[in-house]
Amino acid sequence: MVTQAVILVGGQGTRLRPLTSQLPKPVLDVVDRPFLAHMLDWLAGHGITEAVLCCGFKADVLKEHLGEGVVHGISLTYLTEPEPRGTAGALKFAEDHLHERFVMLNGDVLTDLDLSAQIAAHESTGASGTLGLVPVLDPSAFGLVRLQDDNVVRGFVEKPKPEEIDTDLISAGAYVLERSVVDLIAPDISVSIEREVFPKLIGEGLYGFPHRGAYFMDLGTPERYLDGLRDVLTGALTTQTYGLLGNGGVRVPDGVALGEGSTISSPTWIGDGVTIGQGVRIGPNTVIGDGATIADGAAVRDSVVLSGAKIGARSELYRSLVGHGATVGDDVVVGHLAVVGPGAVVEAGAIIPHETKIEHELEASDVSPH
């Protein structure tokens, strides 16, 4: 029986900056709770009762936001690496805390993989390791995992050429491992479990477990972060959050009033203490965080406005992201996949081009006026 997970949460989330400049990606909100909380909910549903979090970047902030003790039904242990040691190095650092059999997970994935089925397959074969695998539409962009008919791993292909593509399966970042695997990892150095450890296990009890039909999303970019938010709101991924949406897929808490002429399209999540002016249009596929303000005539669609942010009158956001405590002035247009960082201020009348990232330190004059 597997009751322990080791979760790698040491990355810096660089592709999501500036949202993650001061906030670790695992505690960036995905609708109503930190991203990692969704993972803990999922793990608890598969019998996991404790998790070791292998931390690096902003470990103290992660602990502050996620909490200590038992969180979402799982007892948490935080370990902070003295320096980045790679996926296997992080596991080796956690060696003294490991059970004889455990699950190892990349902490940046939103998923509903049938972990119980993967664990059962691992136990039935007597494997040393069982890799969770998912199919992709374009295998050329990933490292592939080749299986025999009995799901024994027969090889890996990194950056395959067209003629080398004979499978659509890639790693889902979810592994069931025996403690003996940790003995293959050298201590105190940076080691990749995918590139340096798993190849050594070929022919030594390494299996794959294809999860066909499962949901799998790496939230590492602004585009995929917004996609993940949408899938939580629509129920494409089953989460506890989806069950909290009201009738019609819209959540508006008590105490939040819509100004005259304002509309909200489904699915949309409105946080507590939000202020919504007159003639505002919100949604679909939109999250407005706690304490945010949306002024008269603004339009926010397919976007996320995190807690405490302010959107000025008549400003328009489409498929964009606004960080905690940021201020977007009146008559601003925020472009597709643009990111306004936490605490940043955008002056009135500015146009933020597509995929632009506005850091807190940038002057308002660094964005284009109308």
| 225-259 pLDDT tens trace | 999 999 999 999 989 999 888 778 999 999 999 99
Buried b (16+ CB within 10 A) or exposed e, 18-47: bbbbebbbbbbbbbbbbbbbbbbbbbeebe
Please tell me the distance from the alpha carbon of residue 280 to that of residue 270, in angstroms, as a whole number. Answer: 13
Bin 172: left if φ > 0, else alpha if -120 < ψ < 50, else beta: alpha
What number of other Cβ atoms are within 10 A of residue 189's Cβ? 12
The pLDDT assigned to 12 comes to 64
Cα dihedral angle (137, 40, 240, 112), rounded to 10 degrees? 20
Q: What is the strand order of the sheet 286-288 is part of? A: 250-251, 268-270, 286-288, 304-305, 321-322, 339-340, 357-358
| pTM attached to this predicted model | 0.89
The CATH number for 245-369, chosen from 3.30.70.100, 2.40.10.10, 3.40.47.10, 2.160.10.10, is 2.160.10.10
What type of residue is 168?
A: D
- Work out the percent of the chain whose per-residue pLDDT is above 70: 96
The pLDDT assigned to 82 comes to 83
The pLDDT assigned to 364 comes to 45
Q: How confident is the model at residue 157 (pLDDT cuts 50, 70, 90)?
A: confident
pLDDT tens profile 194-218: 989 999 999 999 999 999 889 988 8
What type of residue is 201?
A: L
- The residues near 367 (Cβ < 8 Å, ≥ 6 apart) are 346, 347, 350, 351, 352, 356, 358
The pLDDT assigned to 360 comes to 66
Nearest to 30 by CA among 172, 227, 213: 227
The pLDDT assigned to 365 comes to 47
For 131-143, what is the mean pLDDT? 87
State how far the alpha carbon of 240 is from the alpha carbons of 40, 233, 243, 273, 361, in Å: 11, 11, 5, 21, 37
What type of residue is 228?
A: G
Please tell me the distance from the alpha carbon of residue 105 to that of residue 86, in angstroms, as a whole number. Answer: 13
Where does the chain hold its CATH 3.90.550.10 domain(s)? Answer: 4-222
The pLDDT assigned to 342 comes to 92
The pLDDT assigned to 13 comes to 59
Nearest to 357 by CA among 306, 331, 323: 323
- The dotted CATH code for 4-222 is 3.90.550.10
Q: How confident is the model at residue 367 (pLDDT cuts 50, 70, 90)?
A: low
Query: Backbone phi, then psi, for 27, in 5-degree steps?
Result: -110, 10
Where does the chain hold its CATH 2.160.10.10 domain(s)? Answer: 245-369
Please tell me the distance from the alpha carbon of residue 19 to that of residue 50, in angstroms, as a whole number. Answer: 29
pLDDT tens profile 58-95: 778 888 888 888 988 999 999 988 888 888 999 999 99
Strands 169-178, 101-106: parallel, antiparallel or unpaired by DSSP? antiparallel
Over the chain, what is the mean pLDDT? 90
